[in-house]
Amino acid sequence: MKTRKPGLLGLEILTTVAVLGAWYVLSAGSKSLYFPPLSAILDSFRAVWVGQGFFEHVVPSLSRMLAGYLLAAVAGIAVGLAIGMSSWARRLLAPGIDFLRALPAVVLVPFGLIAFGVGAPMQIFVIALGCSFPIILNTAAGAASVEPVLHDVSRSFQFSRAERLFRVVMPAAAPSIFAGLRASLALALILMVVAEMVGSTNGIGYSILQSQRMFVITDMWAGLLMLGIVGYVVNLIFLGVEHFALQWHHGLKASTRDA
């Protein structure tokens, strides 16, 4: 991710303000139960999500999503590296992974309810298992695509397996690993909401579903707005981490283009 130019950043802010302004003006006279004015949604947002609601619903949601996502990252990178570096591991694990990844991630929720019941363990399990497959596949592809000359050099310098893993394979596979991590981040947010709608007593998804069931439509829209803000902020943080971790990669691409 390259640093945004001031002009482009200003354009992004201007576009967002313009869309919100148009929404505010066009919805001002709305009498529809299902499409309330933005002013009413913002009033509901302040009442529901600012203060106690944030700690009651947003913090638990983020903690469960982060726990599941980190478990998926650790397991997915480990399995992906094993598959990418070893033909035996690829033959052993690939059929099971291909079978499981063909299943839609949301169908894991009923199994999670049976195995763990209602609560945080079920949600963390669903998020971790559902998010692991993009990470595994991207990591395996990155590890398998390391230039053979790099392996030859590592053997010439008599690197141990650990040195070859951390000094050759992982740096070369890092862009692919982060691509899988980013894809899984969006999936983690989806699975968090679905799991909370089915088996939770708090969280953003639970709050949105309860508002819909009780026909408090402004609260439902406020919950959707909160979910969008959370997704945007989480993605922004991830892009910052990715940019920091892959500075060498972006610098190499820039120098290659300039050459």
As a whole number of Å, the end-to-end CA separation of the chain is 20
Let me know if domain 64-258 sits in CATH 1.10.580.10: no
* CB of 187 closer than 8 Å to CB of 200: no
- The pLDDT tens digits of the residues spanning 171-188 come to 888 999 999 999 999 999
> What local confidence, expressed as pLDDT, does residue 255 receive?
54
The residue-averaged pLDDT of 145-151 equals 79
Q: Could you give the CA distance from residue 61 to residue 66 in angstroms, rounded to a whole number?
A: 9
Higher-scoring residue by pLDDT: 90, 207 = 207
> What local confidence, expressed as pLDDT, does residue 253 receive?
55
227-245 burial, b at 16+ Cβ within 10 Å, e below that, comes to beebbeebeeebeeebeee
pLDDT band at 257 (very low <50, low <70, confident <90, very high): low
Kindly tell me if the per-residue pLDDT of 61 is higher than 90.
yes
Q: Name which of 100-109, 199-208, 236-245 the model is least confident about.
A: 100-109
Q: How many CB atoms lie within 10 A of CB 145?
A: 11
* CB of 133 closer than 8 Å to CB of 191: no
- The pLDDT tens digits of the residues spanning 130-145 come to 999 999 999 999 988 8
205-221 burial, b at 16+ Cβ within 10 Å, e below that, comes to bbbbbebeeeeebbbbb
Kindly tell me if the per-residue pLDDT of 58 is higher than 60.
yes
* CB of 206 closer than 8 Å to CB of 91: no
Q: Could you give the CA distance from residue 20 to residue 26 in angstroms, rounded to a whole number?
A: 10
Which helix H or strand E contains 196, and what residues bound it? helix 170-199
> What local confidence, expressed as pLDDT, does residue 16 receive?
83
Q: What is the pTM of this model?
A: 0.85
Kindly tell me if the per-residue pLDDT of 258 is higher than 80.
no
Single-letter amino acid, residue 15: T
What lies within 8 Å, CB to CB, of 97 at 6+ separation is 79, 83, 133, 136, 137
- The tokens describing 106, both together, are 């949301």
Kindly tell me if the per-residue pLDDT of 1 is higher than 50.
no
User: Which among 134, 133, 116 is positioned nearest to 125, based on CA atoms?
Assistant: 116
Q: Which long-range contacts (CB under 8 A, 24 or more apart) does 70-73 make?
A: 71/124, 71/128, 72/127, 72/128, 72/129, 72/130, 72/131, 72/132, 72/135, 72/184, 72/188, 73/131, 73/135, 73/181, 73/184
Q: Could you give the CA distance from residue 40 to residue 240 in angstroms, rounded to a whole number?
A: 34
